[in-house]
Amino acid sequence: MGDWLQHIALKARSRTGFGPVPVIGYLIAGLSLVIALGFLCAAVFVWLANHYDSVTAGLILAGAFLLIALFALAAAYFARRRNQERARLELAARSQPGWLDPKYLTIASEIGRAIGWRRIAMLAAVGFLAAGLGREWSESTSRKPDQKDGS
């Protein structure tokens, strides 16, 4: 059951790209934007009150927090893309045929040893012969009466 839940989680991550790193990056970006707005508001207030020096300090701090927010958004975006790609690669790896699983190959090897490889090869050859004859028989009965072999 855990394998199904992991598969569903991988499908969701491949579509959305969300994981711990992008969520933390978005949180840092949001917090930085709130702080930047706070400094901008403080800077506007100080500018309105004094018209000079304290405004410069407020604008520098607001610009620094805006840069932090932009860097956090860029990091979160690239982490999201990386998570999507990793999940897609893992889903592609899981979509390979199940009979290539080492457990199944080991079981098949044990069965081959127990029965004998010659008997298994003979059974496979008879199965292919029967499938070919069945196909020929079904094609010959499905032809219309007015059709001939040459046309």
pLDDT over 60 (residue 151)? no
Q: Are 80 and 20 in contact (CB under 8 A)?
A: no
pLDDT value of position 29: 93
State pLDDT tens for residues 104-114: 778 877 887 88
By C-alpha distance, which of 79, 69, 70, 106 is closest to 23? Answer: 79
pLDDT value of position 30: 92
* Angle at 46 (CA atoms; ends 45, 49), nearest 5 degrees: 90
Instruction: Report the alpha-carbon distance of residue 126 to residue 122 in Å, rounded.
Output: 6
Question: Cβ atoms within 10 A of the Cβ of 77, count?
Answer: 15
pLDDT over 60 (residue 150)? no
Indicate the helix (H) or strand (E) that contains 102: helix 102-115
Q: Which two tokens stand for residue 85?
A: 């790609």
Q: Which residue has 């927090």 as its token pair?
A: 65
Mean pLDDT of 66-74: 91
Rounded to two decimals, the pTM is: 0.40
Instruction: Report the alpha-carbon distance of residue 114 to residue 105 in Å, rounded.
Output: 14
Q: Which two tokens stand for residue 75?
A: 């990091």
By C-alpha distance, which of 79, 84, 102, 94 is closest to 7? Answer: 94
Mean pLDDT of 118-132: 83
State pLDDT tens for residues 21-55: 888 888 999 999 999 988 887 877 776 666 666 66
Percent of the chain with pLDDT over 90: 13
